[in-house]
Amino acid sequence: MRALVLQDGKPQLIDKPRPVPRDDQVLVRMTMAGICNTDLELVRGYMNFAGTLGHELLGVAETGDLRGQRVTCEINFACGKCDWCRRQQPRHCPTRSVLGILEQDGAFADFVVAPRANLHVVPDGVDDLQAVFTEPLAAAFEVLEQVHIQPRDEVVVLGDGKLGLLLAQVIALTGARVLCVGKHDDHLAIARQAGAQTVLFDQWDRTKRDVVIEATGTASGFELAVAATRPGGTVVLKSTVADKASLSLAALVIDEIHVVGSRCGPFAPALRALADGHIDVGAMVGGCFDLSQALDGLDAAAERGALKIVLRA
Amino acid sequence: MRALVLQDGKPQLIDKPRPVPRDDQVLVRMTMAGICNTDLELVRGYMNFAGTLGHELLGVAETGDLRGQRVTCEINFACGKCDWCRRQQPRHCPTRSVLGILEQDGAFADFVVAPRANLHVVPDGVDDLQAVFTEPLAAAFEVLEQVHIQPRDEVVVLGDGKLGLLLAQVIALTGARVLCVGKHDDHLAIARQAGAQTVLFDQWDRTKRDVVIEATGTASGFELAVAATRPGGTVVLKSTVADKASLSLAALVIDEIHVVGSRCGPFAPALRALADGHIDVGAMVGGCFDLSQALDGLDAAAERGALKIVLRA
């Protein structure tokens, strides 16, 4: 089968054997897989990953009780036995592998194996190009798991990349006033469509708000986010970047600011929001590439201002 | 009257006129005032403060309805009219002055003026040397205002300075298991007396715990605290230091750690804890100096391992 692997530090399209599922696993035939900024970071050396890339999977189950059904896949493959797993926190299982990120071959291949427990059936009303956004949309919903955003809160989403736009849409559902700050007016138009206010970064007045969600994908975004948060307010960190950030601790202490690191989220609410039509990601597709053109897809995803690039099998 | 002022960047004991209270203020005759690490930071240039130092005040009201009563004084002097004040958050009033820290003459003087609203009567059963700890003890209680520490949590207090020891005592009241990590065995003995476990910094195994409270007074304590926090756990920042800290954002994001900046706290619970005997700060007094020897008191407070130095009028 075809697979886009990171090997000797370089992304390469190779032919490799189809994986064989263990008893607790399912073989999934990949239909679509989204390219994420994290994939580009991995190519740059983040996490020292080697193997098949890709963690935004939509496919069809080929084995087990889900055979023939469309599925998406939670990316943290947990042990199922440790304290974390028993506490229903498998995303923090210390011995987990992570699809296409940590010791686990990923979604940019014709076939993928995944634990049965990680698969979610896609509701009939959700088409493939919407369903392939389930994983990043779940990451946006994670903010609502962690932070109680109240309907009268004023929220800034810092960044109008793919994750920033999903965040703006999800937060707008809470009734809170959302201001999406970005650098691309065509991206900001997507946030406006979902009811968010928008402003170009250069014109942003930096008024302090209740909650600031940092999704710029840069280390420098953190200090910016802290400066735009009211006393007692909350900064949510969504950017996964390898760089270190510097910040004044006095700013956090004097204004008693809360900082919340935020990573992967729950799939069920994301699929419900897509099925109910509360979230529409149609405008966020930047292009589709056949898996055989996966390297071109990676290049397209790395272009400044690229929206979601999707690989198809 | 006598006053220890910071003037031209240097602490000096001078004679200056007794302050005159406005209608909404009370004249307080200082009985005792504690020296805090923040005072030492101010002497080093933090906040560019100029004026009378001191923010841990115990005194006797000389005017108004409290005349003749022992009082302690909340340090944030708020406008009483803005959104923050109306939301009962005067400690974050943007136009506040702060006793002995920001545009407000402080407690190291024979007389101090303070708003009536900031004064708390000291219960009869609390002696002066306990009551003078009300302000820093309130700062320790602030952690319980901000973070729900559960009885089964495992908590680390990083630092065995004056604030660290108050934190260890307050957190131990919650039923949570507290480990105080420090560098002075005689300080750690005070934490043990309150029921905390203790370990010298060099022998600490750095097992990840639910909540880590950073009270080392150093910028480097932050990264240490993050590394000792379990996924989904909470770091509380209590150190006010001017230095910038560097940290890996990926650590916060991957482990979804919460960081909570924490400053001044509520006086009423602190006074209740002293009155009920739940907190005993007697062992934390490192020495008493008459106000006329205030400069010697500052020197004593700056010595490595100093406990609370108290000035008396």
Q: Mind listing the pLDDT tens digit for each residue in B71-93? A: 999 999 999 999 889 988 889 99
Cβ atoms < 10 Å from Cβ of A257: 24
Which of B89, B241, B252 has the CB atom closest to A261's CB atom?
A: B252
Provide the pLDDT for residue A248: 80
Cβ atoms < 10 Å from Cβ of A135: 24
Residues of chain A neighbouring B92 (CB-CB closer than 8 A): 231-232, 255-256
Question: In this structure, what DSSP letter does residue B147 have?
Answer: S
| Cβ-Cβ contacts under 8 Å for A34 (sequence gap 6 or more) | A56, A132, A133, A135, A136, A308, A309, A310, A311
SS3 B240: coil
Measured between CA atoms, how close is B155 to chain A, in angstroms?
18
Indicate which of A38, A253, A257 best probes the interface with B, i.e. most B CBs within 10 Å of its own CB. A253
Among the listed ranges A228-237, B140-149, B238-247, which one has the minimum average pLDDT value? B238-247
Are A92 and B232 inside 8 Å of each other by CB? yes
In tens, the pLDDT along B293-308 reads 999 999 999 999 999 9
pLDDT at A278 over 80: yes
Residues of chain B neighbouring A248 (CB-CB closer than 8 A): 242, 244-245
Are B262 and A256 inside 8 Å of each other by CB? yes
Measured between CA atoms, how close is A282 to chain B, in angstroms?
28
Are A250 and B242 inside 8 Å of each other by CB? yes
Provide the pLDDT for residue B185: 96
- B191, B236, B245: which is closest to B210 by C-alpha? B236
pLDDT at B257 over 80: yes
CA of residue A102 relative to chain centroid, distance: 15
SS3 A93: coil
Q: Give me the amino acid identity at B219.
A: A
Pairing of strands B25-34, A25-34: unpaired
- A47, A140, A223: which is closest to B254 by C-alpha? A47
Residues of chain B neighbouring A240 (CB-CB closer than 8 A): 249-250, 253-254
Tokens of B289: 């100096």
Measured between CA atoms, how close is A107 to chain B, in angstroms?
21
Cβ atoms < 10 Å from Cβ of B199: 14
Cβ atoms < 10 Å from Cβ of A185: 11
For A:86-115, CB contacts with B below 8 A are 89, 92
SS3 B118: helix
Provide the pLDDT for residue A217: 86
Are B249 and A238 inside 8 Å of each other by CB? no
pLDDT at B30 over 90: yes
Which of B248, B256, B263 has the CB atom closest to A254's CB atom?
A: B263
Greatest alpha-carbon pair distance for chain B in Å reads 57
Residues of chain A neighbouring B89 (CB-CB closer than 8 A): 231-232
pLDDT at A168 over 90: yes
Are B243 and A257 inside 8 Å of each other by CB? no
Measured between CA atoms, how close is B140 to chain A, in angstroms?
13
Residues of chain B neighbouring A239 (CB-CB closer than 8 A): 249, 253
Provide the sign of the torsion angle of the four alpha carbons B135, B140, B141, B147, taken in this order.
Answer: positive
CB A20 within 8 A of CB A1: no
pLDDT at A67 over 90: yes
Tokens of B188: 């750690």
CB B122 within 8 A of CB B31: no
What is the average per-residue pLDDT within A130-152? 96
Measured between CA atoms, how close is B79 to chain A, in angstroms?
16
pLDDT at A242 over 80: no
Provide the pLDDT for residue B240: 76
Q: Does the beta carbon of B253 lie under 8 angstroms from any beta carbon of chain A?
A: yes
Among the listed ranges A245-254, B65-74, B197-206, which one has the minimum average pLDDT value? A245-254
Are B244 and A244 inside 8 Å of each other by CB? no
In tens, the pLDDT along A199-211 reads 999 999 999 999 9
CB B145 within 8 A of CB B138: no
| E-strand stretches of chain A | 2-7, 10-15, 25-34, 51-52, 56-61, 70-73, 76-77, 97-98, 111-115, 119-121, 154-158, 177-182, 197-200, 209-214, 229-237, 244-248, 258-261, 285-290, 308-312
The owner of tokens 């010595």 is B303
Provide the pLDDT for residue B98: 96
CB B183 within 8 A of CB B201: yes
pLDDT averaged over every residue in chain B: 95
| Residue count of chain B | 313
Are B254 and A263 inside 8 Å of each other by CB? yes
pLDDT at B219 over 90: no
| B155 exposure class (CB count in 10 Å sphere: 0-12, 13-18, 19+) | buried
> Phi and psi dihedrals of A92, rounded to 5?
-110, 10
Tokens of B4: 């220890």
Measured between CA atoms, how close is A125 to chain B, in angstroms?
33
Distance CA B291, CA A27 (A): 79
- B171, B167, B154: which is closest to B209 by C-alpha? B154
Residues of chain B neighbouring A246 (CB-CB closer than 8 A): 244-246
Q: Does the beta carbon of A45 lie under 8 angstroms from any beta carbon of chain B?
A: no
Provide the pLDDT for residue B46: 85
For B:216-235, CB contacts with A below 8 A are 219, 222, 231-232
In tens, the pLDDT along B165-178 reads 999 999 999 999 99
What is the average per-residue pLDDT within B234-243? 85
Provide the pLDDT for residue B87: 85
In tens, the pLDDT along B177-203 reads 999 999 999 999 999 999 999 999 999
What is the average per-residue pLDDT within A122-146? 97
Measured between CA atoms, how close is B252 to chain A, in angstroms?
5
Distance separating the N- and C-terminal Cα atoms of chain B: 10
Which of B222, B238, B249 has the CB atom closest to A237's CB atom?
A: B249
pLDDT at B242 over 80: no
Distance separating the N- and C-terminal Cα atoms of chain A: 10
What is the average per-residue pLDDT within B124-128? 96
SS3 A307: coil
